[in-house]
Amino acid sequence: GAVVSQHPSRVICKSGTSVKIECRSLDFQATTMFWYRQFPKQSLMLMATSNEGSKATYEQGVEKDKFLINHASLTLSTLTVTSAHPEDSSFYICSALARDQETQYFGPGTRLLVL
Amino acid sequence: KQEVTQIPAALSVPEGENLVLNCSFTDSAIYNLQWFRQDPGKGLTSLLLIQSSQREQTSGRLNASLDKSSGRSTLYIAASQPGDSATYLCAGGGSQGNLIFGKGTKLSVKP
């Protein structure tokens, strides 16, 4: 089946720094990628939808200037958490969708801890 | 290793019918169990989250149950509507936030 990877799997950073998370579709072209966030004891929440070559669409309440999303190619999307703060500590997961397909494939997730 | 299975893979029902979607998991040391709705080409929508200490959660016409001892969860949809047509995913959650998803049940509610 299709594989989606995320890097890094875990990251610890100091408050105020920026962190970049990569999401790659390894064996298919992903025209759409989704970024989710999950806080402890809460459900996975969609942050933004990213289409290759266009600006990401952010869900209500998600700051686009803080969570920069780039989907520059059909196999790579990046999420940059700018000026990270402890409240940004969370589990970030991406998923990828091929053109004309309905099935999303999920990455394994990235655990971010901001100190 | 946690494995999540959903049955049936697809389901077609007439409008107004009550229905049950099934989810089973192999590792009872589950942290939580979540149900999602997936519409074609769109991101997941979280429906219900059941903590491991809970037995059920309700939201509107939806009711989800969790039986850790038997490794099962069900999603009950009452009075189904055409707008309920979507793929429904369940996911077993670990304490680190990792999610193991089932492959989903594709539901079609016909007018």
The secondary structure of B55-70 as a DSSP string is SEEEETTEEEEEETTT
| DSSP-H helix ranges across chain A | none
Report d(CA A101, CA A6) in Å as an integer: 21
Least-confidence region, from A37-41, A76-80, B81-85 = A37-41
What value does the mean pLDDT take over residues B14-42? 89
Q: What is the pLDDT, as a whole number, of residue B98?
A: 64
| DSSP-H helix ranges across chain B | none
Distance from CA of B70 to the nearest CA of A (A): 22
* φ, ψ dihedrals at B18, nearest 5°: -85, 145
Distance from CA of B17 to the nearest CA of A (A): 25
Q: What is the pLDDT, as a whole number, of residue B93?
A: 82
* φ, ψ dihedrals at A88, nearest 5°: -85, -10
**What token pair was written down for B32?**
């939580």
Closest CA to B105 of B81, B87, B83: B87
Structure confidence by residue, pLDDT tens digits, A52-71: 888 899 988 999 999 999 98
Q: Which residues of A touch B105 (CB under 8 A)?
A: none
A45 has which bridge partners? A37
Is the Cβ pair B43, A41 closer than 8 Å?
A: no
Q: What is the pLDDT, as a whole number, of residue B83?
A: 96
Is the Cβ pair B44, A109 closer than 8 Å?
A: no
* φ, ψ dihedrals at B84, nearest 5°: -80, -10
Quick check: A86 pLDDT over 90? yes
Is the Cβ pair B99, A93 closer than 8 Å?
A: yes
Query: Is A91 an 8 Å CB contact of chain B?
Result: yes
Q: What is the pLDDT, as a whole number, of residue A68?
A: 96
Name the percent of chain A lying above pLDDT 90. Answer: 49
Distance from CA of B53 to the nearest CA of A (A): 12
Quick check: B97 pLDDT over 60? no
